[in-house]
Amino acid sequence: MTELETKIQRIADEIAAARRIAVVSGAGLSAESGVPTFRDAQTGLWARYDPMELATPEAFSRDPETVTRWYDWRRGLIAQCTPNPAHAALASLQSWAASGSAERPRPSVTLITQNVDGLLQRAGAHDVIELHGSIHTWKCTKTGELLDNPPLPFPEYPPRSKAGGRLRPCVVWFGETLPEAALTRAARDSAECDVFISVGTSAVVYPAAGLFHAAAAAGAFTIEINLERTSASDAVDIMIAGRAGEVLPQIVGRVTGG
């Protein structure tokens, strides 16, 4: 067996023996769907903008037109994308786990994502914990009214609700706290899992990046699947440098026999 095959077999064995699995994903999970990763240089019109600058409440209050045009550009891009084999693999791992029985117990699988694109759900995953919210839901900053999948593109920028209030995307900006229920569940499931998988994230954004540490501290078997090494790579039990769309289907296929 090659080194990669040995790693994949070991991961499949750990998953098959686990009671609880937690998976945290980042922008790299959606890269093969054509969604630019968060830190990739922005393309075209947005090349001169730094996403770290735009994804803040300060940018929204200073220049709501630019921020809402950026998000709507991304929303339009995502609408053209389809889930890739990595999303499909996580969805099928979750449904494999859900078909366990008393005679043939299977682990619980918690899918936690930093992504706002909704592609895991479009691949058939359910109960996904969206730590950083969703680009598909917008909120009136005057009334708090939520709008799911508002017209794309918006008729005007910055977009306004019927009440005349400014609309913002329901994503978590830098400096904003994460949705409490989402973070509590993600932290609990990471601290209680037997197997923790980090996939497609540079592991630099907190508190999401802290979930790995919670899992490792609780003795979970930790795995990282990422195109390049990160600050977590030296601490995980197995690191596979590779594309999520290629590696995850191999692992899940080994587990489910699919």
Say which of 87, 132, 136, 213 is annotated catalytic.
132
Alpha-carbon distance of 176 to 169, in angstroms, equals 13
Q: Which of these, 26, 23, 188, 237, lies nearest to 109 by C-alpha position? A: 23
Cis peptide before 158 (omega within 30 of 0): yes
54 or 97: whose CB is closer to ligand BV8? 54
136 assigned to active site: no
Shortest CB 186 distance to ligand BV8, Å: 13
Which residues contribute to the site for ligand BV8 (CB under 6 A)?
Answer: 26-28, 31-32, 37-39, 55, 114-116, 132, 171-177, 200-202, 204-207, 226-228, 230, 243-245
Shortest CB 30 distance to ligand BV8, Å: 8
Alpha-helical (H) ranges within the chain are 3-17, 51-54, 57-62, 64-80, 85-98, 119-122, 180-192, 210-217, 244-256
132 or 136: whose CB is closer to ligand BV8? 132
Shortest CB 118 distance to ligand BV8, Å: 12
Shortest CB 132 distance to ligand BV8, Å: 4
109 or 197: whose CB is closer to ligand BV8? 197
Alpha-carbon distance of 138 to 170, in angstroms, equals 5
* Joined tokens for residue 179: 């949705």
Write out the catalytic residue numbers.
Answer: 132
